[in-house]
């Protein structure tokens, strides 16, 4: 597969991606559990069909010590017994936030309230930001036609 656009060769895209990476560093420093961040970025990437991001977040989660069974079951989280109630709430918010155009009104009050039972206000801010950021990255990679499979953990710092 040949990319339509090399995001690392474009001055504009490189500048945008540096800003996105800065946002990612701020989120990594937040009090939202890193394991939750890995899992929800993987789930959003699966929903959006972004191979490059699915590749990256699967490998980064494993590299960070996430259990392979949990990684494998992210797409089937509703039926899996390996996730906490907090992670399930994060998955639901991720799915609704990623599919925001598919439902009138976007994220339901029920999904928000469920997440708020498990996460404090700062964690909710981080959760919403992670979801928004990964959806942006998915769209950049999908539109550019970025290929999947060659990512190495830590490759982008």
Summarised one tens digit per residue, pLDDT across range 11-62 is 999 999 899 999 999 999 999 999 999 999 999 999 999 999 999 999 999 9
pTM of the model: 0.94
Q: Which of 18, 43, 27 is nearest to 128 (CA)?
A: 27
pLDDT for residue 80:
98
* Burial of residue 12 (number of CB atoms within 10 Å: 0-12, 13-18, 19+): exposed
Residue 106, phi then psi, degrees to nearest 5: 70, -125
Distance CA 99, CA 81 (A): 24
Q: Is residue 157 predicted with pLDDT exceeding 70?
A: no
Which CA distances in Å does 5 have to 2, 24, 96? 9, 22, 29
Summarised one tens digit per residue, pLDDT across range 103-150 is 777 899 999 999 999 999 999 999 999 999 999 999 999 999 999 999
Higher pLDDT, 154 or 132: 132
Summarised one tens digit per residue, pLDDT across range 75-98 is 999 999 999 999 999 999 999 999
Task: Count Cβ atoms below 10 Å from residue 14 Cβ, excluding itself.
Answer: 12
3-state secondary structure of 60: helix
Distance CA 105, CA 22 (A): 30
Q: Is residue 101 predicted with pLDDT exceeding 80?
A: yes
| Helices and strands counted in the chain (H then E) | 7, 0
Distance CA 122, CA 101 (A): 25
Q: Is residue 1 predicted with pLDDT exceeding 80?
A: no
**Domains parsed from the chain with CATH numbers:** 32-144 (1.20.1290.10)
């Amino acid at each position: 597969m040949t990319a339509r656009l090399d995001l690392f060769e474009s001055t504009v895209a490189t500048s945008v991606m540096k800003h996105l990476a800065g946002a990612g560093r701020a989120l990594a420093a937040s009090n939202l559990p890193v394991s939750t961040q890995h899992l929800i970025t993987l789930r959003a990437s699966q929903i959006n069909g972004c191979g490059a991001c699915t590749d990256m977040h699967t490998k980064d989660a494993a590299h960070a010590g996430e259990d392979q069974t949990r990684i494998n079951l992210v797409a089937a989280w509703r039926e899996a017994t390996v996730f906490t109630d907090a992670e399930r709430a994060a998955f639901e918010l991720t799915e609704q936030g990623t599919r925001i155009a598919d439902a009138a009104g976007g994220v339901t009050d029920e999904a928000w309230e469920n997440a708020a039972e498990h996460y404090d206000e700062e964690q909710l801010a981080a959760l919403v930001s992670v979801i928004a950021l990964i959806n942006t990255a998915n769209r950049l990679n999908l539109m550019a036609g970025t290929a999947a499979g060659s990512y190495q953990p830590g490759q982008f710092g």
